[in-house]
Amino acid sequence: MQEGEKIRSDGAAPSHESRKFAPVRSPFVTRLLPEAAARLGLLQGGNDGLLSVREAAEQLGLCTATVYDLCADGALAHIRILNAIRIAPADLADFVALRRVSVAPRE
C-alpha cells in the first residue's frame, strides 16, 4: 500500500470494470398493464399537466400553507400521489369560478 491510497474494508482490489445491463424494451407499466398505461397517458405533461402546491399558490396569489389548508378542508380538489399533492388546472379554474363574486351595477 502506498501513501494516499484508500483502504477498502473488504481488502479486495479496486474494480474498474463497467457492468452491462440488458436494454429496457418497454416501460414496466406498458408491458404488464397495458390498460393502466392507456389511462396514465392522460396524466402525462402537455398543457393540462398537474400543478404542484407551489404553482397553484402562485396562480392564486396565496401562500402554500393556505393551499394545503384548502386541500385538507376539501375546498380544493386535488390528487395525492404518495406524499405529494397535485392539482389539475381544471380543478383550480373551477375553484376560482365557484368563488367568483359578481357585483351588481349601481343605478
- Answer yes or no: are the C-beta atoms of 34 and 19 closer than 8 Å: no
Q: Please, is 32 exposed, middle or buried when counting C-beta atoms within 10 Å of its C-beta (0-12, 13-18, 19+)?
A: exposed
Q: Is the pTM of this model over 0.75?
A: no
Domains in the chain, start-ordered, CATH in brackets? 48-101 (1.10.1660.10)
- What is the average pLDDT score of the chain? 76
Residue 103, pLDDT score: 83
- Of all residues in the chain, the percent with pLDDT exceeding 90 is 44
